[in-house]
Structures are given as structure tokens and as C-alpha cells.
Amino acid sequence: MQINRRTLLKSGTAALGATALPGWAHAQMTLGNVQIDTLSDGNLVLPREFQFGDLPQDEVTEILARYGITGDEMTPDCNVTLMRDGTNTVLFDVGAGPNFMPSAGTLWEALDELGVYPEDVTHVVFTHAHPDHLWGLLDDFDDLVFPEAQYMIGRAERDYWLDPATPDTIGEARLAFAAGAIRYLGAIEDRLTTFEDGEEILPGIAARATFGHTPGHMAFELRGGSESVMVLGDCIGNAHVAFERPGWVSGSDQDQEMGAATRVALLDQLANDQMPFIGFHMPYPGIGRAEKSGDSYRFVAA
């Protein structure tokens, strides 16, 4: 496997001159004849308690301090994966777009600098339907950003977000997530197809059920020749607490116990197989491996 890193920083103004765009970056790896790029969609700004509020705070503080993280604010990176095999140009998630957080939504500029036009994207595959993965689907005029693409999502994920009961049961803190999912998934209803766990959804792309963060969250194993890499989405949500204490629950997971069980099993597999992965919220560019030490793990950046 060859990994080449190229970092480009671009500054400018957002649509209508609202805010300055954060820097974006691009990293590249190859699997045989398959080219994979990770593109920065910026970062989120979240209160620490969103992920870690129900955990032993002294231990959380100690872990975060080892990674240079202090204070009550978290700023996780957002890394979108692009795969090109000579036939298909596939995006895994579409970022946050212009309407979620001002610190996110830079994917479109990153693609432009890479020389990939929206019309070039043949498929968009969603890990799940949270705003920072879905809301980049539409522009400021509610037009599809990727007009030629086919859209794909796990059946359980689609069914959950389009269930009329979901807004009444998801809880007030995530009510906007439900409303957004209805809006954005509704915009592609006539071109949205679903798949199941274990299915090869496109040549060289296999779906892997990683439920818990959302009810139908999917990861994807990308294969080129004899090599493979896992696109994780948010089933492993950070490079510190999730690795050192994988069995702890995370407040960002909708089903916290299931999310923890998924994380423990997946980290064990990734470490044992030494399979590289791309984490949506890992430190940019999100590419690395898991190294096991006792009951804990360590994120080893590529």
C-alpha cells in the first residue's frame, strides 16, 4: 500500500460572504488500481459533555490531557472519503453543507481544488444520516450538489429516519437531526437505494453493520487487489477515549450500549488484522491503524 500526503490550505469567504472558510486538506492512498482520497469538511465544535458527560470525569480529563486536549470544547475533524476505480467515483458521506456549523462544510471547495466536479460523482454512499454526514447533499438553493449520482444507504438506517415515530422518540436534543434527515433523504427519495449487512454494494465495496451510533450505521470495506481499508464513519468516534476505553459508553451514540459493543468488537478485529481504516472524526487525514495494548488500543496515524 502506498500513502502520499499532500496538504493544501485554502482561505476564502463562504457563500454570501458569511464567514471565512477554514483551511482544508487532502490526503491520498492507493489500493492496487483504486485511488482513495480523504477530504476535509472542516471540523465540528462540540461541548465535551456531549460525548463524555456520563463518564468518570477525572479519568476522561487525564486521557484527553495526554492528547493535548483541555477545556470544555471539542473540535473533531471531519474527513470525507472519495474512492475512484476508473469506472466509479464514489463519495462516502457528503459532509455538513452550509447549514449545520460554520466551522464545517468545506467539502465542495476541497473537491474543486482536487479537480473533481460534482457531476463526476457517480455514487454517494452514506454511513448514516447525522447532519455532518448528510446535510451537504443540498446547496443554498436546495438543489442537489451531486446531480448525477446514485444514492445508497443501509435499509435499517433509512427506515429509522423515515419512520413517522422517530421525531417523537429521538429526544429533544436530536430533534433537528430527525427533521433534517426527513428533509434531505426526502430530496433523493426517487434515487435512493438500500442495502443490507455484508452486501457488496459496488465492485470492491462491502457493507459492514456497525449499529449503535445510529440504529442502522454502516462501515465499508474497500478492496483493491489483495489490499483493503475500512471506512468507519462514526462507529469509532475519536482517537483517544474511544481507543483507550472502548467499552465506555459515548453520549454521541444513540444506543450507547450497542455502540460500545460494536466499538470493542471492531477495534479487536482491526488490531488483529492490522487493517488500515479511515475515521470520519479521527485527526486529519483520518487514516491509521489500531494497536492493542491489554484491554486498550492506540490510534496509529498513517
Enumerate domains of the chain plus CATH numbers: 25-301 (3.60.15.10)
CA distances from 44 to 21, 73, 117, 132, 297 (A): 13, 10, 25, 8, 24
pLDDT in tens, 225-282: 889 999 999 999 999 999 999 999 999 999 999 999 999 999 999 999 999 999 999 9
pLDDT in tens, 164-174: 999 999 999 99
pTM for this one? 0.91
Read off the C-alpha cell for 159: 427506515
By mean pLDDT, which of 16-20, 186-190, 198-202, 283-287 is the weakest?
16-20
pLDDT in tens, 26-73: 678 999 999 999 999 999 999 999 999 999 999 999 999 999 999 999
Q: Which residues contact 115 (CB under 8 A, 6 or more apart)?
A: none
DSSP secondary structure letter of residue 111: H
CA distances from 248 to 83, 107, 264, 296 (A): 32, 31, 9, 11
Distance between CA atoms of 199 and 124, rounded to whole angstroms? 16
